[in-house]
Amino acid sequence: MKFRDKLMAGYLLAAALITMSGLFGIYGTEKIVTLLESKDMVVRSIVISASILARNAKSLESNLLIYLMFGNKEFKENYFRQVTELREAERSLRQVVQDPHGMRILDLVKSESDLAVTAGRALLDSFDASVETNSTYVASDHKDLITAFVETTRNIRRQAMKLADIETNFLNRQEAITASMEIASYSKRLQGHLILYLLLQNSEERRKVFDRYQSFYEMISILDDKLIDPAARKILNEIRIEMEQMMPAVQELLNRNDSSIANKGFPSPEHHEALIRKVCALTNSLGNKGVALARLNVHLETEPQNLALERVRFVQLTILVVTVIPIILASILGCVANRKATELAESKSELEYLNNALDERSNELTIANEQLKAKILDHEKAEEEKSNLIIELREALAEVKKLSGFLPICSSCKKIRDDKGYWSEVEQYVSAHSDAEFSHSICPDCMRSLYPEYADAVLDRLEKDEKK
């Protein structure tokens, strides 16, 4: 394996180990986050849904009883809306409740809800029949049916409060949360007892109105001792103010009812609709503030968990950063090392190529040098030959010059006189002053002059030999 490959394998292995460690850390913290979030979500959802369930049970009771009292369709529509919200709250609780005892309570809630809807339907039918037959509705004639309906809604409220106690029994603020939920519940219970008293003139219900009022102050006293948070105390003060506004209105309504009975011999709740609406508005507001206070107390209870959750999230982020940064650094270093190794390998290859090219060039230069030496030797040899030739030519030229100029020759015997004054035959003179050699023959004219009888035959034969 090449060094570059080993280096890359080392960086990749380091990155893989860091990634595995980071993933295990993130997985562990994610488990903690999921546990904290799910627990917080479950507690919040159960407390709020149980509060809404208890309040809706009493709200649908109040709306139906007020409808029976006044025959106002607004309250009938509110009743059906409360029935729908009651069903939705029950379904919401089924999605989050995990405790077996809690599930049994929800089964009871569903059973009581079905009974309440059935009883409510029967009351509406009896109201319609009574109005159609007698043009009026006398509540005391249907006391048993009304009592049965009210009992089912009370059972629903009781089971909802029991469910909230079961699911929050491990919380430090359980007493404050329960007291807040009781305020939401007592407001609707006070309203229900009041309306039921006005409808049936049952002294027991009138007594329960004041009992619920007393229970209100007991819950406020508990919360006054338990609550420290400024926002929670602000809501508690608003509840206390509305309580002080509500009881004078309740007392006035009871006084008018007593006056009507004293003057007419029977109650006339239809004459006090505005005051009844005012009391209902105040109890509804108290119920909403009770739910808001319970929600806030749950939030305050789970706030340490939220802080722990934030710390776990920070640890998770730190693990992620600690995991990612080394991976990035390993990747960068791996890339840089790989690039440097590649450059080194390329440089080595280039150096080898240059060395090979240099060797080839050296060989070429050696061969060229040898060839040049050979050419120089040839040139020197040619120069030497040229010099010799020049010398020979000069010597020949010198010889040729010996035969140049005027040569004194005898006009009779054709002898030539040399520089010393001696007369020599032409053949001797030329042979002495050049390299020429003589061979004797006879020209055609002399042949015919000296040998006329042989001349023609000999000349013809010579001519034929030349042509061949």
Domain boundaries, the chain: 3-327, 416-467
Residue among 228, 284, 213 at smallest CA distance from 66 = 284
pLDDT at res. 170: 45
pLDDT at 373: 83
Longest dimension (CA), the chain: 211
* DSSP states along 124-144: HHHHHHHHHHHSS--GGGGHH
CA angle 211, 216, 220 (to 5 degrees): 150
Q: Give whole-number Cα distances, 34 to 40, 46, 302, 323, in Å.
A: 10, 18, 14, 21
In this prediction, what percent of the chain has a pLDDT beyond 70?
78
Q: pLDDT at residue 359 above 60? A: yes
Assess whether pLDDT exceeds 70 at residue 59. Answer: yes
pLDDT above 80 (res 270): no
CA distance 458 to 442: 11
b/e burial code for range 313-349 (CB count within 10 A of at least 16 → b): eebbeebeeebeebbeebeeebeebeeebeeeeeeee
**Residue 19 confidence (pLDDT) above 90:** no
Integer Cα distance of 180 and 51 in angstroms: 9
Give yes or no for residue 39 having a pLDDT over 60.
Answer: no
Residues 6+ apart with CB under 8 A from 421: none
Lowest pLDDT segment from 39-53, 208-222, 283-297: 39-53
Q: What's the CA gap between 184 and 177, in Å, rounded? A: 11
Confidence of residue 37 (pLDDT cuts 50, 70, 90): very low
Place of tokens 């994610």: 30
Q: Is 424 helix (H, G, I), strand (E, B) or coil?
A: strand
Q: Which helix (H) or strand (E) holds 417?
A: strand 416-417
Nearest in space to 280 (alpha carbons), one of 237, 258, 250: 250
Strand segments, DSSP code E, in 257-344 are: none
Question: How many Å from the N-terminal Cα to the C-terminal Cα in the chain?
Answer: 89
Assign 187 to helix, strand or coil. Answer: helix
Query: Positive or negative, the Cα torsion across 175, 181, 184, 186?
Result: negative
How far apart CA 388 and CA 394 sit, in angstroms, is 10
